[in-house]
């Protein structure tokens, strides 16, 4: 008699969990049929399907994910990869909203969501290793830098990937991005529409595509209004509050009569707001101010900041959807989705 690892002849699954085989026995069919039912194959007679479904319900059968992964060479898991430095920068709820969206979309699948924070080179190394070992079926990559080696690695390994944002105007990989240009333009147009004429902008670091886009939108609006070309109205920040402060100080020095500012992030706008206050200017009476992100920072500022909102959760949902598609149809088609933004009016402009 073979004893094996303790499984009784009766076929009690490990830990008492029912197996495919037990379902098959119960339903009076073969393993293949049960597998087909579980995986939604149409090649099953209505009668067999009913019997199997009944057996599944009675036994409380849940497929063993590891066995499935081993046999089918897939993992039913996707990784959400977050390079840490990014999340430090201001918009933290942003991240949570993305997770929310992704999670919502994945809830209907039986895909698992793996969270991977990348802070140290070591963690980066480990991630690369995991990817080589194909421990996930796909990757969602949040806010990539232009020079990040990760996207290329993913492309080389042919791991289905969706980026949140793009690295440049000619991004090849699948991505989901907000309409940063349009959002910035609408912000500037709003300021111009209020009758403001000395409309400045505080940019993000221009080696980031998103920052260039927001500057572009501003520039477009200024040009359309016939007010373009004055580069002294452009101050450079780095998406931090302190950067916003410094930029605002520089702007005030160059243009004491400034009457409106579009900051490329709420956090920078918040810094600018403090400097404006310190200089004795009132917001929005003397200087109107618009931020970008529609974050908690904007809501809690005093006055609350008018800001360009991104459909963050929707972006998360879209990313997940695109990724699932890409995993499904292994054709390697790439999708590029740009979601529109919305100006949220509050007290500051």
Q: Which residues contact DNA by CB under 7 A?
A: 2-5, 7, 13-14, 17, 19-21, 28-33, 35-36, 38-39, 42-45, 47-49, 61, 63-64, 67-68, 70-73
CB of 111 or CB of 208, closer to DNA: 111
Q: Return the DSSP state at 116.
A: E
Nearby residues of 89 by Cβ (< 8 Å), 6 or more positions away: 239, 240, 265, 267
Which residue is it, tokens 């209020």?
194
Nearest to 51, CA basis, from 25, 73, 32: 25
116 binds, among DNA, its own copies, none (CB under 5 to 8 A by kind): its own copies
CB of 7 or CB of 232, closer to its own copies: 7
Minimum gap (Å) between residue 325 Cβ and DNA: 18
Distance CA 135, CA 75 (A): 6
43 binds, among its own copies, DNA, none (CB under 5 to 8 A by kind): DNA
87 binds, among its own copies, DNA, none (CB under 5 to 8 A by kind): its own copies
Distance CA 160, CA 297 (A): 34
Q: Give the containing element (helix H, strand E) for 321.
A: helix 312-328
CB of 299 or CB of 334, closer to its own copies: 299
CB of 76 or CB of 216, closer to its own copies: 76
Minimum gap (Å) between residue 72 Cβ and DNA: 4
Overall residue count recorded for the chain in this entry: 349
Distance CA 223, CA 272 (A): 24
CB of 182 or CB of 316, closer to its own copies: 316
95 binds, among its own copies, DNA, none (CB under 5 to 8 A by kind): its own copies
Distance CA 137, CA 73 (A): 10
Structure tokens at 317: 């949902």
Which residue is it, tokens 């197996």?
19
Minimum gap (Å) between residue 70 Cβ and DNA: 4
CA distances to 265, 289, 291, 307, 308 from 298, rounded to whole Å, are: 9, 11, 7, 7, 10
Minimum gap (Å) between residue 116 Cβ and DNA: 21
Q: Return the DSSP state at 283.
A: T
CA distances to 62, 139, 274, 278, 322 from 71, rounded to whole Å, are: 16, 22, 60, 66, 26
300 binds, among its own copies, DNA, none (CB under 5 to 8 A by kind): its own copies
112 binds, among DNA, its own copies, none (CB under 5 to 8 A by kind): its own copies
CB of 15 or CB of 257, closer to DNA: 15
Q: Determine whether 148 is exposed, middle or buried from the number of CB atoms within 10 Å of its CB (0-12, 13-18, 19+).
A: middle
Minimum gap (Å) between residue 15 Cβ and its own copies: 6
User: Interface residues with its own copies (CB under 8 A)?
Assistant: 14-15, 17, 60, 62-67, 69-70, 73, 75, 80, 84, 87, 92-93, 95-96, 99-100, 103-104, 107, 112-117, 119-120, 122-123, 126, 129-130, 132-135, 270, 296-297, 300-302
Minimum gap (Å) between residue 21 Cβ and its own copies: 14
Minimum gap (Å) between residue 321 Cβ and its own copies: 17
8 A C-beta contact, residue 74 and residue 137: yes
Minimum gap (Å) between residue 96 Cβ and DNA: 33
8 A C-beta contact, residue 266 and residue 90: yes
Structure tokens at 310: 């991104």
80 binds, among its own copies, DNA, none (CB under 5 to 8 A by kind): its own copies
301 binds, among DNA, its own copies, none (CB under 5 to 8 A by kind): its own copies
CB of 45 or CB of 223, closer to DNA: 45
């Amino acid at each position: 008699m073979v004893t094996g690892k303790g499984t009784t002849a009766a076929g009690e699954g490990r830990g008492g969990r029912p197996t495919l085989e037990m379902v098959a026995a119960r339903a009076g069919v073969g393993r293949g049929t049960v597998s087909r039912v579980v995986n939604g194959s149409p090649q099953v007679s209505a009668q067999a399907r009913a019997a199997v479904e009944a057996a599944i319900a009675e036994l409380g059968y849940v497929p063993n994910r590891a066995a499935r992964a081993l046999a089918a060479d897939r993992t039913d898991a996707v990784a959400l990869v977050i390079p840490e430095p990014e999340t430090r920068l201001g918009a933290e709820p942003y991240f949570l909203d993305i997770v929310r969206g992704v999670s919502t979309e994945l809830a209907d699948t039986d895909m698992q969501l793996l969270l991977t924070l990348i802070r140290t080179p070591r963690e980066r190394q480990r991630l690369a290793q995991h990817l080589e070992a194909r421990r996930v079926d796909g990757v969602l990559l949040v806010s990539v830098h232009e020079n990040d080696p990760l996207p290329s690695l993913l492309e080389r390994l042919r791991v289905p990937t969706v980026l949140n944002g793009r690295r440049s105007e000619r991004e090849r990989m699948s991505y989901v991005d907000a309409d940063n240009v349009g959002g910035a333009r609408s912000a500037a147009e709003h300021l111009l529409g209020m009758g403001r004429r000395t409309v400045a902008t505080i940019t993000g670091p221009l080696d980031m595509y998103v920052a260039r886009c927001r500057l572009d939108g501003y520039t477009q609006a200024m040009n359309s209004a016939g007010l373009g070309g004055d580069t002294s109205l452009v101050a450079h920040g780095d998406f931090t509050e302190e950067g916003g402060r410094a930029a605002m100080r520089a702007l005030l020095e160059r243009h004491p009569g400034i009457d409106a500012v579009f900051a490329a992030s709420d956090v920078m706008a918040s810094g600018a707001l403090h400097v404006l206050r310190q200089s004795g200017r009132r917001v929005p009476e003397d200087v109107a101010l618009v931020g970008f992100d529609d974050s908690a920072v904007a809501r809690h500022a005093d006055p609350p900041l008018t800001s360009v909102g991104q459909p963050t959760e929707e972006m998360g949902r879209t990313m997940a959807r695109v990724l699932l598609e890409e995993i499904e149809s292994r054709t390697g088609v790439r999708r590029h989705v740009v979601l529109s933004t919305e100006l949220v009016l509050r007290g500051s402009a």
